Structure 1
Amino acid sequence: MLNVARTRVAFGAVAFAAPGLTVKLMGMGSGSDGGRDYVTRMFAAREIALGAGYLLSKGSGRKIWARLGLVVDALDTVNGLQSRGRLPLWVTASAVAVAGGTAAVGSAKVTKDLLAR
């Protein structure tokens, strides 16, 4: 989970600083688009907050951040699946793989926390 949180912060910082490049690398367009850049920065801020929240918390607070991350990653996975057919297959597959993989790590952490009670 620490690596997931660190990656969230790093990816979020890059996406916030360079939203156009981020979208281009993700295969979701190129060129300047103010609306797309705004939404990308919103996504980036969310990633920074989730990662930093986990890294800066301890104990029960960290458990809450893990659960919040799991919910976000599960919703991102569903969103990726719903984009099928409207984005190139490799974009959808990559997004679902990343979000689903992160949701799986989060699920393992949340399950471990619940069983440790």
Structure 2
Amino acid sequence: MVAIHIDPVTGLSLGRIAIGTGALVAPSTTARVLGLDPASNPQLDYLGRMFGAREIALGAVTLVSRGALRRNLTVVGIAVDGADLANGVIELGQRNVTKLASGMLIGAAAGAVGSGLLALVRGRRQSRQGA
């Protein structure tokens, strides 16, 4: 069996592209998978496609970048995911989404923030070792 190693930034970038593609191509389905109810708010499709396009763009540009630009885009991704995490906590408190949906969305955002931070720490260690 061959083990494939994907660094956290590449994994996040591919995840962004996958989720973004789903949201762009099938926004209602993606919303339902994430525990949201597009039937109660048909305008969610519009926002889902906007979200999807941005996720694809951020994922793709980060995926192909290198060096300082990749690091800076990772920081941007952490900020975006941090905002998603905060929004999930706010929505949970306001009870605008179910606890299950909030948990899924908060968990995904927290995982993405953690992966981004891990990538930054690893990148700094590798820079120090290579210097």
TM-score by length of 1: 0.90
Return 53-62 or 23-32, whichever deviates more.
Answer: 23-32
Q: Partners of 1:30 and 1:9 in 2: how far apart?
A: 21
Unaligned runs of 5+ in 2: 1-8
Verify: 1:106 aligned to 2:105, yes or no. Answer: no
Quote the residue 1:41 is aligned against: 49
Question: Which 4+ stretches in 1 moved above 4 angstroms?
Answer: none
Quote the residue 1:52 is aligned against: 60
How big is each residue's C-alpha offset from its partner over 1:30-83, in whole Å with a ceiling of 9 and x where there is no partner? 4381x2111111111111111101111111111111111010011110000001
Unaligned runs of 5+ in 1: none
Say what the alpha-carbon RMSD is for the aligned residues: 1.6
Paired residues, number: 116
Q: Partners of 1:101 and 1:114 in 2: how far apart?
A: 20
What one-letter code is carried by the residue in structure 2 that aligns with 1:12? Answer: G
What one-letter code is carried by the residue in structure 1 that aligns with 2:112? Answer: T
TM-score by length of 2: 0.81
- The answer (yes or no) to whether the contact 2:23–2:52 under 8 Å persists in 1 is yes
What one-letter code is carried by the residue in structure 2 that aligns with 1:19? Answer: P
